[in-house]
Amino acid sequence: MMPRMTLKSGEKISALALGTWGMGGGYFSPDYSKDAKWIEAIKYAISKGISTIDTAEMYGGGHAEELVGKAIEDFSRDDVFIVSKVWPTNLKYEDVLKSAKQSIKRLDTYMDLYLIHAPNHNIPLEETIEAMEKCIELGYTRYIGVSNFNVKELEQAMSLTKKEEIVANQVEYSLLNRAIENELLDFCKKNKILVMAYSPLAQGKLIRHRKFGLLEEIGKKYGATGVQVALNWVYSKGAQPIVKSENKKHIDEISQALNFKLKKEDIETLDRNFTGKRFLFFLI
Ligand SMILES: NC(=O)c1ccc[n+]([C@@H]2O[C@H](COP(=O)([O-])OP(=O)(O)OC[C@H]3O[C@@H](n4cnc5c(N)ncnc54)[C@H](OP(=O)(O)O)[C@@H]3O)[C@@H](O)[C@H]2O)c1
């Protein structure tokens, strides 16, 4: 059974989310070559209990959202939780509304959670937040949140909301990047803001890391794989791992990643061995 995580509102969503970066193309560039495979992968993940699906208007220039829209057709709408994001150049009031409208057209349904993909200090956050709240009023989304916001930016966003609340902050978090442990993770927990952890496998780099053997070694105690240990570690810290996969075998593995509870001593061993300092940052 897939564990659940609780939003501020009390609503429960799957503790693991599926990412869609790379499905349907890259940075604002659609690719239609593997549509059937991508749609099948998203459907398969949902059937395995990974019912939170993360996408963005930027992914494949919106084509990833179209794939998500197609994949969820066979499921009851209440059984999936769709997250999408507005790109930082579209954060003026009217632009947010326009982007949201286009996203729901491509998804062919409302969004459950709409995120500001990253801050843009050239556009007043006040007008962006006002527009995000309007998106709830218009029925475009049920909740709003942010992504790649630090504590100061998050505090500002929270102080600007008038009717709604910021329910989530989507940020990078893995054994190879533990920057959010400095203050953001605790701040979010204290304020009941869901931490959605992107790139929990460091885009695959963790699997190729020289210390990956340690994860496999720990996994043996639980009958789990190294990938499952990596995702379970993120979850043990109170964050929701968002993993991208378009491979059914990998999805099988991911979907079982939270079926065991890492012991304190194993979490400590991982903490000691992975300092989490990375030099590269990709915004996708
Ligand atoms: N808000 C933001 O700014 C932001 C930034 C980055 C990412 N994200 C979101 O977070 C999602 C996840 O992050 P990510 O895509 O950067 O990286 P990731 O999930 O850490 O890694 C994805 C890579 O790992 C591989 N993989 C997945 N499961 C595997 C398994 N069981 N065994 C071996 N390889 C496996 C995938 O290949 P296969 O497909 O072949 O399985 C893919 O190459 C994104 O898709 C996106 O939705 C958001």
Is 213 near ligand 1, meaning CB less than 6 Å away?
no
The pTM for the full model equals 0.97
* pLDDT score for 174: 98
Q: Which of 34, 180, 243 to mutate to test the pocket of ligand 1 (most atoms within 8 A of CB)?
A: 243
* pLDDT score for 44: 98
Residues 6+ apart with CB under 8 A from 15: 2, 3, 4, 5, 235, 240, 258
Structure tokens at 33: 């070559």
Q: Where residue 193 sits, what CATH number does that domain have?
A: 3.20.20.100
**Domain of 249?**
4-273
Number of H helices, E strands in the chain: 10, 12
Residues for the chain: how many in total?
A: 284
Q: How far is CA 277 from the centre of its chain?
A: 21
What pairing do the DSSP bridges indicate for beta strands 4-6 and 12-14? antiparallel
* pLDDT score for 278: 59
Q: Check if 59 is active-site.
A: yes
Spatial contact of 169 and 83, defined as CB atoms under 8 Å apart: no
> What is the distance in A from the centroid of ligand 1 to the CA of 189?
24
> What is the distance in A from the centroid of ligand 1 to the CA of 159?
32
Is 201 near ligand 1, meaning CB less than 6 Å away?
yes
278 domain-assigned: no
Q: How many CA atoms lie within 13 A of 242 on its CB side?
A: 26
- Tell me the pLDDT tens digit for each residue of 33-79: 999 999 999 999 999 999 999 999 999 999 999 999 999 999 999 99
> What is the distance in A from the centroid of ligand 1 to the CA of 243?
5
E-assigned strand segments in 58-165: 81-86, 111-116, 141-147
Q: How many domains does the chain have?
A: 1
187 domain-assigned: yes
* pLDDT score for 283: 53
Is 197 near ligand 1, meaning CB less than 6 Å away?
no
279 domain-assigned: no
Residues 6+ apart with CB under 8 A from 36: none
Listed as ranges, residues in the chain with pLDDT below 70 are 278-284
* pLDDT score for 282: 53
Is 247 near ligand 1, meaning CB less than 6 Å away?
yes
Is 254 near ligand 1, meaning CB less than 6 Å away?
yes
Annotated catalytic residue: which of 27, 44, 59, 198? 59
* pLDDT score for 284: 54
* pLDDT score for 222: 98
